[in-house]
Structure 1
């Protein structure tokens, strides 16, 4: 069942540009199948040394028989995302690096469920014991049965005779597919892409086991319509990648405040977790983003691009927290796809929204990719991959966008970078001392480069101004009336700034700082609204620290605008 894989450099370069032809995508898929088979072999070797976990030979023999009859159908079962999650978790449990709520015999016994699903799909009759977990029997790629058991963990009998599959436990039999206690996994989407919409399998969410949460027929119809509409917006490259690599969409709740969520994981290769998108464009963008993660996970399984380990110290323009190099690599590749998505969208449907998203992610992703290219944690192949991404993004640098959308994108990028600095960087103490002493003595700001600050990660919260800018571009005439319905964390100063009234916004930001001197959102807002306070966009951590130290020395907080203007080199300001 295993075969060697070769990864040509031209294939790596093709993927690094954000694409991937049919051969490249097949190679990634084949690599995942091989990884699953190696993990299965490892599991069997581990179990063979533990007498308490013997008895999997029957399941393995059945899986082997199915493989001989129909390799393609068995492949379809083995590459299901929950199989990857299960293999990763059970091997960690066997090695003692992870605790499981279920007994080890239940976790290991899931192999029988895999074998039963594969044999049924291959039209093989059998009889086999399968585990029951909290009243649920899961058959990957098929669905789940709910049965009555004496406790949370039990054994049931799976039998297939003359094409009819039944699951029996304690005298209760579920007859598939017509039984009311059977919940099949449903498919949605257009003819070219028919993923499972998995709302039932306990292992469907790679973040943690999840009980079944059956969607109504109306919910499924809405997901189906959304996916069909999103599919029509995708480029051929991204559509082909989805068809080749993504087998399952898992509906999950939105983030707090109704913010949309999407995610994927190398362990759950082939699955995309999503909250229901706001519209078809958001749906298509999320799919593009996640299939990029999926491609990179497949490539990294075959040939690592980044050395293991490493601290979280990188600035990622799409995250509020510092990231390790491995996370930055994933993010750059995902947003290379997002940038390409918006580049294509603006060619067929010109709008301020498309211009803004393209300009924002073109700038931010290129900024991160250039930093990534020089990270020592990357392997030789990883540095080549990063260099190709930089070249692709740089090729879009001269694409013109509308002036309003372009300025909004520039402000959004400055906002995020400066806020990240103010939250996570601690200025050099001597630099703060020199700045404070110069201010107190009415002297110009000390000349010379600002010493490098140190990274001190702190708790974060989402910034509202990015969503405010999107709202303004979509509906400027409805902006003021809709703000509080959309973003409860936006301040009056934020609203005035995004609406273009920077003079009033700056006044309100100063008032917010007077009330909350450590309010990072207000400090950076002031830097955006008042061009004279540009130091707040360049080294905000130093200005904020000096502001607090001056107050500690004098008992009074200095004027934030005057201090920031002076720190930026305005010699007319000062203490």
Structure 2
């Protein structure tokens, strides 16, 4: 059977390039990411077969279990494969296999297959060696086995009635298995699941998960657990943000609600509020807790842009690979490669659109004045960056179309009136940033281009 390619209508492509796209774009990109994960599952299995030995045997068992779960309940298997932690697990394993290492982390593939079987209610058992005292079922949660050591064997058993128990046979805890609760979002005994912050209008959950170490592998501040008071603060601010997006930013809210969204909390960050996204964790955002619902909302708008753009780059070549040039980005202190500049520019297009709407809907005069400044700052900075992209000489024809549509949107934003005090302050901030950037990067690096005047 020849697989059918994913196709994005030109009209929708242009809407995404303009910073929008809505739920239709997010659903299409989610389907494409699902297909990409399925392809990676096949590639992992094929590479493991070539490796041979116990690696091939464990991968084959995981493949068969995942295929059985997918046949029994396609949606259950899809929920696991589209979970943000599945991307780093699968692509990380695939990167290990060709290198001939004796013990590549095949247990990550096995855990995905086990989670799919649990979700599908597929009776039977799955075993794999533990990496430590926590056993993760991706998209569901983790079970704790104090005293368990790396190499101990865990067994996940699904009974005929769908009840799931996790045990470590042959250990001191063999007689004390962990039962996966019907509602995995609540802690029960030694089970810890993601926290449900909000249920969006589509029924999709907005989850907080400090537990799964592969959800966002670069999250340096990820805590091991969150206390009840901290979870309450996250819940309150997240729900304020959802209400604001629903009322005043309907397209951004539609994109947020188009599927499950997972937040990975960062704590102990050295500088204020921080956030980030990863190309292989579609639907996931790592962030420190913003102090207000408005800042939470703009962070989500920003990172949803990164999510869209990363998934889009898995479908389309927007620029030529290679090239060592580094560029000035008006929102960073370090020079950026073309990919980083393109990513940040698209994200800040969403930020500019957010603040444009806030200055129309914010009831507080002081906050409305601040929104004017932020809108003026980011519309100009983003337009400047788009011009750099278009002048780079490395955009493909499709990339030129994408950046050109971004420029059209920004030109329209730059024609909107802004109070003179806000314009002056935005200009002062822009000049201060550029001066600080020049001072920080006073020694030119190889390939670094001068900042655009």
TM-score scaled by length of structure 2 = 0.88
Aligned to 1:255: 269
- Give the drift of 1:418: 2.7
Q: Report the equivalent of 1:76.
A: 79
Tell me: CA distance 1:212–1:141, structure 2 relative to 1, closer, same or farther (3 Å).
Answer: farther
Aligned with 2:408: secondary structure?
helix
> Residues 339-488 of structure 1: matches in 2 within 5 Å?
339-349=352-362, 351-425=368-442, 455=445
1:239 matched to which residue of 2?
A: 253
Secondary structure of the corresponding residue to residue 152 of structure 2 = strand
Alignment: residue pair count:
428
For residue 395 of structure 1, give the secondary structure of its aligned residue in structure 2: helix
- Match in the other structure for 2:61: 58
Q: Report whether the alignment pairs 1:221 with 2:219.
A: no
Could you say which residue in structure 2 is the equivalent of 1:272?
Answer: 285
8 A contact 1:190–1:228 mirrored in 2: no
Q: Distance in 2 between matches of 1:209 and 1:89?
A: 18
CA distance in 2: counterparts of 1:306 and 1:457, whole angstroms: 18
Contact 2:328 2:452 in 1 (8 A): no
For 2:242 and 2:221, the matched residues in 1 are separated by 28
Quote the residue 2:322 is aligned against: 309
Alpha-carbon distance between aligned partners in 1 of 2:129 and 2:146, rounded to the nearest angstrom = 13
Q: What's the CA shift for 1:183?
A: 0.8
Q: Structure 2 vs 1, CA of residues 329 and 49 (structure 1 numbering), >3 Å: closer, same or farther?
A: same
User: Does the Cα contact within 8 Å between 2:129 and 2:150 map onto a contact in 1?
Assistant: no
Contact 1:138–1:145 (8 Å) recurs in 2: yes
Structure 1: runs of 5+ lacking an equivalent: 427-453, 459-536, 540-575
Q: Distance in 2 between matches of 1:208 and 1:30?
A: 26
Determine the structure 1 residue equivalent to 2:103: 104
CA–CA distance in structure 2, aligned partners of residues 164 and 126 of structure 1: 11
The separation in 2 between residues aligned to 1:247 and 1:78, in whole angstroms, is 14
Q: Mark the CA change 1:60 to 1:221 in structure 2 (over 3 Å): closer, same or farther.
A: same
Checking the alignment, whether the CA contact within 8 Å between 1:352 and 1:405 is kept in structure 2 is yes
Instruction: Tell me the CA shift for residue 421 of structure 1.
Output: 2.8
Change (3 A) 1:422 1:245: farther
Alpha carbons 1:113, 1:131 under 8 Å: kept: no
Question: 8 Å contact 1:131–1:137 — kept in the other structure?
Answer: no
What is the CA–CA distance in structure 2 between the aligned matches of 1:148 and 1:223, rounded to whole Å?
28
Cα distance in 2, alignment partners of residues 420 and 318 from structure 1? 10
Verify the 8 A CA contact 1:332 1:369 in the aligned structure 2: yes
Shift of 1:96: 3.4
Query: Do the aligned residues in 2 keep the contact of 1:425 with 1:457 (CA within 8 Å)?
Result: no
- Shift in Å at residue 198 of structure 1? 0.6
Q: Would the aligned equivalents of 2:222 and 2:264 in 1 still touch at CA under 8 Å?
A: no
Question: In the alignment, is the contact (CA less than 8 A) between 2:388 and 2:452 conserved in 1?
Answer: no
Q: By percentage of residues, which structure has more helix? A: 1
Ranked by relative contact order (alpha carbons within 8 Å, sequence separation 6 or more), the top structure is: 2
**What is the CA distance between 1:456 and its match in structure 2?**
6.2
**Deviation for aligned residue 1:212:** 6.2
Range that drifts further, 394-403 or 143-152: 143-152
Q: Secondary structure at the match of 1:232?
A: helix
1:99-248 to structure 2, matched below 5 A, reads 104-105=103-104, 107-148=105-146, 151-161=149-159, 162-169=161-168, 170=171, 171=174, 172-177=176-181, 180-192=189-201, 193-207=204-218, 213-234=224-245, 235-244=249-258, 247-248=261-262
1:333 aligns with 2:342: no
CA deviation profile, 1:327-377 (whole Å, cap 9, x unmatched): 111011000000000000001115211001000001111111111112222
Q: What is the CA distance between 1:64 and its match in structure 2?
A: 1.3
Instruction: After superposition, give the CA deviation of every residue in 1:133-179 in whole Å (9 maximum; x if it has no partner).
Output: 21111001110011246532332111111222111112242222285
**340-349 vs 395-404, which moves further:** 395-404
Structure 2: runs of 5 or more not aligned = 182-186
User: Deviation per CA, 1:395-434, whole angstroms, max 9, x where unpaired?
Assistant: 01122222222211010111112332343356xxxxxxxx
What residue number does 1:49 align with? 50
Shift of 1:116: 1.5
Task: Tell me if 1:86 matches 2:98.
Answer: no
Q: For 1:527-550, what per-residue CA distance to the aligned partner results, in whole angstroms no more than 9, with x for missing partners?
A: xxxxxxxxxx999xxxxxxxxxxx
Using the alignment, how far apart are the partners of 1:271 and 1:217 within structure 2?
A: 22
CA contact (8 A) 1:201 1:211 kept: no
Q: Structure 2 vs 1, CA of residues 397 and 197 (structure 1 numbering), >3 Å: closer, same or farther?
A: same
